[in-house]
Amino acid sequence: MKWGTKSPRCMRHELIAEPTNASSMSFVAFVGTHEYLAPEIIKGGGHGSAVDWWTFGIFLYELLFGKTPFKGSENRATLFYVVGQPLQFPESPVVSFSARDLIRGLLVKEPQHRLAYKRSN
């Protein structure tokens, strides 16, 4: 997190991820919210605007269910879950099929199959 020049209220958040070894998911530097990272960023591969659709899906999930879908007990576990754990929905609160379907489309692990991929890249 970098602070603004005026006061702590003017915080500016900056996300930096530099994988050194994608298979071990070790990072030289990371600042940001692990739960919102798309799998392709965690793996250290190239990425395009499909990561924005992933982040939007995580945001919608958290907005509707009050938690993110891949949260682990520690950051390393969260990154592992984002890459390898299937998406699941809690039984409550009750959320419409359409909302779940939208989130399901946004949180596809492979960016080329993610909702809106062709229109955004």
Each residue's pLDDT tens digit, 64-118: 999 999 999 999 999 999 999 999 999 999 999 999 999 999 999 999 999 987 6
Query: pLDDT of 2-46, one tens digit each?
Result: 334 343 444 333 444 444 444 445 444 555 689 999 999 989 877
For residue 83, give the nearest of 18, 22, 21 by alpha carbon: 22
Contact 51, 41 (CB under 8 A): yes
19 vs 23: CA distance, rounded Å:
9
Alpha-carbon distances of 68 from 7, 52, 90, rounded to whole Å: 30, 16, 11
What's domain 8-120's superfamily in CATH? Transferase(Phosphotransferase) domain 1 (1.10.510.10)
Domain ranges of the chain: 8-120
Q: What is the pLDDT of residue 30?
A: 56
Contact 78, 17 (CB under 8 A): no
